[in-house]
Structure 1
């Protein structure tokens, strides 16, 4: 995005870009009624059929190497608590609608640290509220806790998940660009830049502020 903004093909017509995070559940069968189901270590051992299968997946994915190339050096907590994640998705979307995408990104980053590095559950309402209060001064912990307790936004998450399924997305990360181009996996920034350059070359971009999920989340 920074490359495209700083060096547009036509200086007088920079490509307008916005990023919307859409919910996806890694473990859709996990109950929302329990703070956590198991540790991530236990989840992965079960998912890949034991230690041998898990080791094969780690070698195939090369996550540590890719993380290092992206400047992520702090190790993840392998025994972080795995749980249903609807509550955290609701909170991120709430922040986006109330305070804008930059605010929701700050919250998203803070939740990543809270879960992946600190090992905390993404279905712990009190913990999520504390993170929101620290990351977003405009959303005090008490207000975040009240929102989570209300159940507001749950139906929106369910509808968004159904649309994601309709698009044929069954793993993450996935990038849906211009409403139709889907790039799977942890794409290199060069791949994404090439797609946006093709869009730039088409010419004038329609001034349409709607998004594929705008009718669901009302943004």
Structure 2
């Protein structure tokens, strides 16, 4: 259950609305891997997407690239499509640890840095270098961050168990977002327009009155 870049923009917009003072939303990130079989070393992102998602069709891949760039332009995100796609387990391990230790705001800054590095700067999603930059961007002291990141076993079992729990809950796609309310929860699965996320946030406020 993680926020994608468009739902983050929706939440930023909500916080500037008249409803923002009525309900306080706290973000909690839970780990989930779409491709747990991906190698740690990884492979070229563009080639991987073209072969596994678009039947090795250059035309379809170009269409996807054009669509994502258009989405990104609307929220000031400059998507790039090379770099490395790889196993993200270490990134989840770091996010979960520092979310627990330092709270949701730090976890949010970690996520934003990881998104920017991967989607805009074509960085590997979970090398020590990537993770150290993300923790620095989140304001975590370097010595503390480095000690945890370089001990690849610390927190690993808990993260794997949390991923297994999400799979047991029937989650098989991302983003998967649950907005908890007083009367009911609203679940949004798969990519949505910003307006759909905003509508759900305001609906929770309405029902919580």
TM-score range, shorter chain: 0.7 to 0.9
Maintained 8 Å contact 1:107/1:131: no
Q: Quote the residue 1:161 is aligned against.
A: 163
1:58 aligns with 2:59: no
State the shift of 1:148 in Å: 2.4
RMSD: 2.8
| Structure-2 residue corresponding to 1:210 | none
Deviation at 1:183, TM superposition (A): 0.9
Is 1:86 aligned to residue 92 of structure 2? no
Q: 1:29 is matched with which residue? A: 37
- CA shift at 1:5, angstroms? 6.5
1:92-131 equivalence runs, <5 A: 92-125=95-128, 127-131=129-133
TM-score by length of 1: 0.74
Compute the displacement of 1:149 (Å).
3.0
Q: State the secondary structure of the residue aligned to 1:123.
A: coil
Give the TM-score of the pair, scaled to structure 2.
Answer: 0.77
Deviation at 1:56, TM superposition (A): 7.7
Alpha carbons 2:135, 2:145 under 8 Å: kept = yes
Change (3 A) 1:188 1:49: closer
Larger radius of gyration: 1
Larger relative contact order, structure 1 or 2 (CA cutoff 8 Å, min sep 6): 2
Q: How far 1:167 sits from its partner (Å)? A: 3.1
SS at match of 1:8: helix
Give the 3 Å change call, closer, same or farther, for CA 118–192 of structure 1 in structure 2: closer
Match of 2:145 in 1: 144
Distance 1:4 1:119 in 2: 30
Deviation at 1:133, TM superposition (A): 5.0
Contact 1:132/1:144 (8 A) holds in 2: no
Aligned residues: 193
Question: Helix, strand or coil for the counterpart of 1:62?
Answer: helix
Q: Which runs of 5+ in 1 are unaligned?
A: 205-219
Deviations 1:44-89 (A, max 9, x none): 1221220257438618x922211112222x341x221121101111
Counterpart position of 2:73: 68
| Structure 1 counterpart SS, 2:28 | coil
